[in-house]
Structure 1
Amino acid sequence: MRARILAAATAEFGERGYEAASIRAIARRAGVDPALVHHYFDDKQRLVAEVVEVPLRPDRLVGTALDGPLDELGERLVRAVLTAWDAPAVRPAAVAALRSAIGQGPVARMLREFLRREIMLRIAVRLDDRDDPTDAEVRAELAASQLVGVIMVRYVLEFEPLASLAVDELVTRVGPAVQWHLTGRPPGA
């Protein structure tokens, strides 16, 4: 039953994308009750993680990092992301998912929509720029671009010395740049 739901989710995400796909539509395609989908996967985010076979919930990872003072968010995000990617159980699947996300096709589209909605927009909401929500989205995307750049160089391209640099060192070096993007001002300003 679980495999049938996963197959239906893969097809639904592929055809409709992450945002348009619903638990009900996935259940209908699998020929099961939506409650059974929730029983096996809790929510749509967990289903995406299973479809792309990544033992990591980026939405939860970012959600945890978002807790706490805004003036420390850059460092928390960098530490959370790098610590998760350094885990041997996560890295191979995460690298494969990243490669899929930058490719073409329905899985790439679904992953990009998932990352945009569950990560970028959640960060932007946390920035709480009521006067200019578009700027909050730009700042969130700039911060993410810093993180994705480090991920690409460290885990995909495996360039040394960055590939073997300690997480604490990377947090010290990259955290302030991410923070600047998040707040729109240099750290300490």
Structure 2
Amino acid sequence: MTDSPARTPGRRPGGPDTRGDILRAARESFAGKGFAGTSLRAVAREAGVDAALVHHYFESKDELFIESMALPVDPRQVAAVILGGPREELGRRIITTFLGVWESAEGQQRMKAVLRSVVTSDEVARMMREGITKMIMVPVAAVLDVPDARLRVSLVATQLLGLALTRYLVDLDPVATTPVPDLIDRIAPVIQHYLTA
């Protein structure tokens, strides 16, 4: 009879879904602490693995963030939905799509991570700004066919970011508890005014 090999104490080695466990722990950390407050060591601890294993899968915190922030929707598909209808209903489509992403449980967790990281990291802000500009803002501005289209779309972004901060991060009432259909009815005309007035 042979002795079974002794298990060494410490973190568990990689398993079939170790990468997935690390990504889940990273998403929770980025959502809860933002980019600056998250460390690879803390993510490893939360995932129950050795920190070296996190480095095995992800070269840096930036790479881990890019992978873990996998947005719940493809920004190009968001642009297609926004642009897929009459111009006079752009405001309603934009706010409906935006709230649809934020109101799902997984979408909210992922978007919180992105938003917190955008406001705490210049690099992440630049990355998001460039991606969102290319995939959403430029196509929307193109259909407006007015000289100040980029400014108009940027003003819409201020409305959406303000709503996200107020409703989902600051949790400020009554915005935080107002039913989604009521928010859509109130905000859609404001966005439409930015775009077409």
Q: TM-score range with shorter-chain normalisation?
A: 0.5 to 0.7
Offset of 1:159 from its aligned partner? 0.8
Which residue of 36, 57, 63 corresponds with 2:80? 63
Q: Which runs of 5+ in 2 are unaligned?
A: 1-18, 20-64
Q: What is the aligned length?
A: 134
Shift in CA distance, 151/62, structure 1 to aligned 2, threshold 3 Å? farther
Offset of 1:152 from its aligned partner? 1.1
| Matched residue type, 2:117 | S
Matched with 1:179 is 192
Shift in CA distance, 105/139, structure 1 to aligned 2, threshold 3 Å? closer
Please state which structure has a larger fraction of its residues in helix.
Answer: 1
Q: Within 2, Cα distance between the matches of 1:102 and 1:73?
A: 27
Shift in CA distance, 49/62, structure 1 to aligned 2, threshold 3 Å? farther
* Secondary structure in structure 1 of the residue aligned to 2:154: helix
Tell which structure's C-alpha radius of gyration is larger: 2
For the Cα contact (< 8 Å) 1:62–1:80, is it kept in 2? no
Matched with 2:180 is 167
Matched with 2:164 is 151
Runs of at least 4 residues off by over 3 Å: 48-51
For the Cα contact (< 8 Å) 1:49–1:56, is it kept in 2? no
Matched with 1:96 is 113
Q: Deviations over 1:55-111 (max 9, x none)?
A: 222332232121100001001110111011100111011111011122224233211
For the Cα contact (< 8 Å) 1:55–1:90, is it kept in 2? yes
Which residue of 72, 82, 93 corresponds with 1:76? 93
Give the TM-score normalised by structure 1: 0.65
Offset of 1:115 from its aligned partner? 1.5
Please report the RMSD computed on the Cα atoms of aligned residues, expressed in angstroms.
1.9
Q: Which runs of 5+ in 1 are unaligned?
A: 4-47
